[in-house]
């Protein structure tokens, strides 16, 4: 993918000397679009980013982990501006073209001395040649992680009129995951030629069925950002209807794969679960029921315990606000029916279900049998480790 | 408290041979009012109870633990009816005057053979004389428990025109606690003379500021019931304005104390927390912010870890939908200010807060400084034990 460079270094922002400062650089300004958290408590880089993205062009993105620069007042905004400026100076570009993102602990000021030494280092690290490109992608993807246990990288190639284009997505996220119209940190780079307005539309669609349909713990981050950059280096133009569809499909795949990786790497998670709600009367009902099930701590702990406790699933649907009728509900684990028309299917069905629950990935389908609407959520189970990770997070 | 009798026995409904069948009996039919769960997946005894309570009179209440009789279809309703009938026959009263309540696992049919042998036993156990009254209250309060670690009994005495009256409240509840316009199982008995309609009004008020302001895990039970019985045996009449106020205050106290006990005994809980949100622009905003904080797994695990992670508290308020402004927020733990006008108050303030968090009971106050409205929630922390209890609940 020509024209993009990536790097990641350990700048000492995290206490554990892991990589914590990442950089994306485009040879020339790229068309850019972004979605941000709807949380009203918003990190300084998000406040700044909302302003900067209006111009629709970005050339560099500096991302730090270990500190969210959130709830840091006027000084937080100044610090974020200083990070842009440091990066722009080291790269020799206009600081208006630099976006910054932060993730980590809320409420502490950025250690600016670490940025003063770190930014020149990460700029120097920028991968130039082909053999360094992959290393750059890996280093960047590592530098943006917090409690994540693995890097999250997705690459998708598509063809328009026989010409190939690429979308490369990188994300972080493991806890405080309940995106609300946006996401944790995710960066999508593509070599197509597209206007920033069309990119925003495509990104909004992709987000709606990916990052907006996942949950780890029901908490929405203050720093959620999904940023897309398109640098036109492939020569593929996204303009007419057909090219838009092909690009959208590729972008959907990247966002959905990244979202899936985030949930799979959920704090303390041992299983990945997809809850599909079918047969709802309205789209809203399908969403509400799926969301309530995906958020239920009782459902999540039962899945961790590999207990086919279907009463908790149906009870969560019942309290969701969605229209439901007990005597109509069907419930499946993979293809195994556990409840049909509100009736438990017996001990054999339950034993088969318990067997299915031993798998690492589980598909649950709740058919409300009241209409034709459906929706789905990805979520993870809830183990003692989630509690351990979050009771000790700052110490 | 004349005219009420209580009993509780082990009937074999639970696997562990603990008490699981309780009975309240009034010498004569009492004025009765009840509030039930708003969950649309509703247990059979709740479906039946909603019908029965319409007559406003109840003479006996049979409660079993170990089985919720929920999601049990037509047979579940028949079983609940059979329980009423068995109780009425053993007591020699009309079965229309018998309410039944169930709590425990969802989705299994009641073991009716255990009720056929158990109901005559619990009727035989009914405490008659004064010295058996206390034992009866204790046995009943024990028989209704599931994952609770202790009985929940509250007694309040009031005076109207110099005459004493008593309110006795008993509750169960530890998990699946996020009552929505009702509660877990709670039974309130009083010796005042009051109409069932006035009793319903008083109960609704009391519920709103007690059971509707608590959460353990955010899941609303299918069996939530708050039932009040008034048998007039004290000769105290609740009729005019002043007597209504005195009675309401006593009833509020009983319900708030019971609600507090439920949260304190929350599954795996080690700390009891009160979050007060002040200075909100609207009542709705105050409620939303308090509710979001009380439900946040990240806040709950931080409290378990005794970590003054105020970023999670303010972030939960931010995503709640309430109007908030970062730069206006004040946050206190007991009297210790941790954030003032959006500014962290430094390491000394944080150390003092950490000290306060070692206590078993913690008061958190978030002042939004945007208006004059306030609300409060009681909640508990979130430990590894919650996960353990709920991963293994049915096995």
- pLDDT band, residue B175 (cuts 50/70/90): confident
Instruction: Please check the confidence at residue A128 and state whether its pLDDT lies above 80.
Output: no
Both tokens of A53, joined, read 């993205």
Residue of chain A whose alpha carbon sits nearest to that of B38: A319
Distance from C-alpha of B69 to C-alpha of B66, rounded to nearest angstrom? 9
Question: Which chain B residues touch A302 with a CB distance below 8 Å?
Answer: 390-391, 393
Contact B383 A387 (CB under 8 A): yes
Beta-sheet pairing, B185-190 with B225-230: parallel
Find the range with the poorest average confidence among A163-177, B103-117, B286-300: A163-177
CA distance B136 to chain A (A): 32
Q: Does the beta-carbon distance from A71 to B393 stay under 8 Å? A: no
> Taking CA atoms, what residue in A is nearest to B223?
A315
- A328, pLDDT greater than 60: yes
Pair of tokens at residue A329: 């509900």
Q: Look up the pTM and report it.
A: 0.83
Q: Where are the alpha helices (DSSP H) in chain A?
A: 44-52, 73-91, 112-125, 130-143, 196-208, 241-264, 283-295, 297-304, 310-319, 347-356, 384-391
Distance CA B384, CA B345 (A): 31
Interface of B with A in 51-90 (CB under 8 A): 68, 70-71, 73
H helix or E strand, kind and range, residue B89? helix B73-91
Q: Over the stretch B27-78, which tens digit does the pLDDT of each residue have?
A: 999 999 999 988 888 899 999 999 999 999 999 999 999 999 998 999 999 9
Cβ B262 vs Cβ B64: under 8 Å: no
Residues from chain B contacting residue A180 (CB–CB below 8 Å): 319
| Residues near A118 by beta carbon (within 8 Å), at least 6 away in sequence | A9, A11, A12, A13, A21
Q: Scanning the structure block, which residue is given the tokens 């069905």?
A: A349
pLDDT for B319-369, tens place per residue? 899 999 999 999 999 999 999 999 999 999 999 999 999 999 999 999 999
Out of A348-352, B12-16, B342-346, the most confident range is: A348-352
Rama region for A334: left / alpha / beta (φ>0; ψ in -120 to 50; rest): left
Instruction: For residue A254, give how far its alpha carbon lies from the nearest alpha carbon of chain B (Å).
Output: 27
Alpha helices in A306-346 (DSSP H): 310-319
Beta carbons of B70 and A315 less than 8 Å apart: yes
Instruction: Determine the Cα–Cα distance for residues B220 and A321; give it in Å rounded to an integer.
Output: 12
What pLDDT band is residue A94 in, cutting at 50, 70 and 90? very high
Say if A220 is an interface residue toward chain B (CB within 8 Å): yes
Nearest to A107 among B220, B298, B311 (CB): B311
Task: Give which of B185, B173, B179, B189 is closest to B211, Cα–Cα.
Answer: B179
Does residue B328 belong to the interface with chain A, where contact is any CB pair within 8 Å?
Answer: no
Interfacial A residues in 13-42 facing B (CB < 8 Å): 38-42
Phi, psi (rounded to 5 degrees) for B302: -65, -40
Q: Is B347 on the interface with A (CB under 8 A)?
A: no
What is the rounded end-to-end Cα distance, in angstroms, of chain B? 41
pLDDT of residue A130: 58
Q: Considering only the beta carbons, identify the residue of B296, B342, B393 that sits closest to A219.
A: B296
Residues 6+ apart with CB under 8 A from B81: B48, B95
Among A41, A382, A392, beta carbon nearest to B314: A41
Q: What is the pLDDT of residue B33?
A: 93
First CA to last CA distance, chain A: 41
pLDDT of residue B394: 65
Residues of chain B with C-beta less than 8 angstroms from the C-beta of A42: 318, 326
Residue A92 touches partner B, C-beta closer than 8 Å? no
Q: Helix or strand or coil: residue B34?
A: strand
User: What residues in A contact B107, CB-CB < 8 Å?
Assistant: 310-311, 344
Torsion of Cα atoms, B241 then B183 then B228 then B133, to 10°: -130
What's the whole-number mean pLDDT along residues A293-301? 92
- Lowest average pLDDT, out of A53-57, A104-108, B73-77, goes to A104-108
CB A217 within 8 A of CB A262: no
How many A×B Cβ pairs under 8 Å?
199
Q: What is the pLDDT of residues B185-200, one digit of tens each?
A: 889 999 999 999 999 9
Count CB neighbours of A41 within 10 A. 25
Q: Are A180 and A222 in contact (CB under 8 A)?
A: no
Specify the DSSP class assigned to residue B14: S
Give the side-chain half-sphere CA count within 13 A for A55: 14
Q: What is the pLDDT of residue B127?
A: 63
Rounded Cα–Cα distance for residues A114 and B70 (Å): 59
Maximum Cα–Cα distance across chain B: 70
Which of B41, B322, B387 lies nearest to residue A315, judging by beta carbons?
B41
Q: Which residues pair with B104 in a beta bridge?
A: B66
Question: What's the alpha-carbon Rg for chain A, to the nearest Å?
Answer: 22
The tens digit of pLDDT for each residue in B242-283 reads: 999 999 999 999 999 998 898 888 888 999 999 999 999 999
Query: What 3-state DSSP class applies to A372?
Result: coil
Catalytic status, residue A103: no
Find the residue in B nearest to A324 (Cα): B40
Catalytic residues of B: 183
pLDDT score at B395: 55
Chain A residues close to B324, C-beta within 8 Å: 40-41
Q: How far is A71 from chain B (nearest CA, A)?
A: 7
Distance from CA of A87 to the nearest CA of B (A): 27
Residues 109 through 168 of chain A touching chain B, CB cutoff 8 Å? none
CB neighbour class for A372 (10 Å; exposed up to 12, middle 13-18, buried from 19): exposed
pLDDT in the model for residue A394: 65
Choose between B381 and A223: higher pLDDT: B381
Give me chain A's average pLDDT, please. Answer: 91
- List the catalytic residue out of A183, A215, A222, A225: A183
Where residue B80 falls (left for φ over 0; alpha for ψ -120 to 50; beta otherwise) is alpha
Q: Is the pLDDT of residue A280 over 90?
A: yes
Would the CB atoms of B302 and A218 count as touching at under 8 Å?
no
Closest CA to B176 of B261, B262, B101, B287: B262
Question: SS3 for B189?
Answer: strand
What pLDDT sits at residue B128? 58
Here the ipTM equals 0.80
Q: Is the pLDDT of residue B174 over 90?
A: no
Tell if the CB–CB gap between A304 and B391 is shorter than 8 Å.
yes
DSSP state of B55: G
d(CA B83, CA B44): 11
Are the beta carbons of B244 and B153 closer than 8 angstroms? Answer: no
Q: What are phi and psi of A342, to 5 degrees?
A: 80, 0
Phi first, then psi, for residue B373 (nearest 5°) are -85, 150
Residue A89 has pLDDT above 70, yes or no: yes
What does residue A167 show for φ and ψ, rounded to 5 degrees?
Answer: -125, 125
How far is the C-alpha of B142 from the C-alpha of B16, rounded, in Å?
Answer: 14
Among B315, B322, B338, the strongest candidate for a mutation testing the A interface, having the largest count of A CBs within 10 A, is B315
pLDDT greater than 60 at residue A259: yes
A83 near A52, Cβ under 8 Å? no
Q: What is the pLDDT of residue A147?
A: 85
* Closest by Cβ to A344, choosing from B107, B382, B393: B107
Q: What is the pLDDT of residue B61?
A: 96
**Cα–Cα dist B344/A108, whole Å:** 8
State yes or no: pLDDT of A290 exceeds 60.
Answer: yes
Q: Which of A73, A105, A301 sits opposite B390 (nearest CB)?
A: A301
Q: What is the pLDDT of residue B213?
A: 83
- The distance of A298 to chain B (nearest Cα, Å) reads 7
What average pLDDT does the structure give for chain B?
91
Q: Is B283 on the interface with A (CB under 8 A)?
A: no
Q: How far is B62 from chain A (nearest CA, A)?
A: 23
**Spatial distance between the Cα atoms of B344 and A76, rounded to a whole number of angstroms:** 12
- Alpha carbon distance A140, A24 (integer Å): 8
User: Is-contact B350 B248, C-beta < 8 A?
Assistant: no
| B242 touches A at CB < 8 Å | no
Q: How many CA within 13 A on the CB side of residue A79? A: 25
Residues ≥6 apart with Cβ < 8 Å to A224: A36, A37, A39, A46, A179, A180, A182, A183, A184, A185
- Judging contacts by C-beta atoms under 8 Å, the chain A residues touching residue B220 are 315, 318-319
Cβ–Cβ contact B358 with A under 8 A: no
pLDDT recorded at residue B365: 98
| From A170-184, A228-242, A376-390, the region with the lowest mean pLDDT | A170-184
Q: Do B106 and A312 touch (CB under 8 A)?
A: yes
Report the distance separating Cα A67 and Cα A73, nearest Å: 14
Q: Does the distance separating the beta carbons of A73 and B304 come in below 8 Å?
A: no
> What pLDDT, on the 0 to 100 scale, is given for residue A323?
95
Cα–Cα distance measured from residue B83 to residue B216, given in angstroms and rounded to the nearest whole number:
30
pLDDT band, very low/low/confident/very high, at A270 (cuts 50, 70, 90): very high
- As a whole number of angstroms, the distance between CA B143 and CA B146 comes to 9
Backbone angles phi, psi at A256, to 5 degrees: -70, -40
pLDDT for position B251: 94
């Amino acid at each position: 993918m020509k024209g993009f460079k990536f790097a990641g270094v350990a700048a000492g922002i995290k206490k554990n000397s892991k990589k914590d400062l990442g950089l994306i650089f485009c040879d020339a300004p790229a068309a850019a679009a972004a979605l941000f958290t709807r949380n009203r408590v918003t990190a300084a880089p998000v406040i700044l980013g909302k302003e900067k993205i209006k111009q629709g062009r970005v050339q560099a993105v500096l991302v730090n982990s270990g500190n969210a620069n959130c709830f840091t007042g006027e000084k937080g905004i100044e610090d974020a501006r200083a990070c842009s400026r440091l990066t722009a100076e080291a790269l020799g570009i206009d600081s208006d073209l630099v976006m910054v993102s932060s993730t980590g602990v809320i409420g502490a000021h950025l250690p600016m001395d670490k940025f003063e030494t770190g930014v020149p280092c990460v700029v120097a690290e920028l991968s130039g040649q082909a053999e360094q490109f992959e290393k750059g992608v890996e280093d960047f993807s590592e530098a943006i992680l917090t409690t994540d246990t693995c890097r999250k990288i997705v690459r998708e190639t598509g063809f328009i009129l026989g010409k190939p284009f690429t979308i490369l997505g990188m994300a972080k996220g493991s806890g405080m995951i309940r995106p609300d119209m946006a996401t944790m940190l995710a960066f999508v780079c593509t070599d197509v030629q597209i206007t920033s307005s069309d990119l925003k539309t495509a990104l909004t669609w992709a987000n709606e069925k990916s990052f907006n349909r996942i949950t780890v713990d029901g908490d929405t981050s203050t720093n959620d950002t999904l940023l897309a950059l398109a640098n036109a280096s492939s020569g593929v133009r996204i303009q007419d209807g057909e090219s838009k569809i092909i690009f959208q499909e590729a972008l959907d795949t990247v966002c959905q794969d990244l979202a899936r990786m985030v949930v799979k790497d959920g704090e303390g998670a041992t299983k990945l679960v997809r809850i599909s709600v079918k047969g709802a009367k309205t789209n809203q009902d399908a969403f509400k029921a799926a969301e309530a099930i995906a958020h239920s701590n009782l459902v999540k702990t039962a899945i961790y315990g590999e207990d086919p406790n279907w009463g908790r699933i149906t009870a969560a649907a019942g309290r969701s606000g969605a229209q439901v009728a007990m005597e109509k509900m069907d419930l499946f684990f993979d293809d195994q029916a556990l409840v049909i028309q509100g009736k438990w299917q017996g001990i054999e069905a339950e034993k088969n279900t318990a067997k299915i629950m031993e798998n690492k990935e589980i598909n649950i389908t709740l058919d409300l049998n009241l209409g034709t609407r459906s929706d789905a959520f990805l979520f993870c189970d809830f183990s003692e480790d989630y509690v351990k990770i979050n009771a000790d997070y700052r110490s």
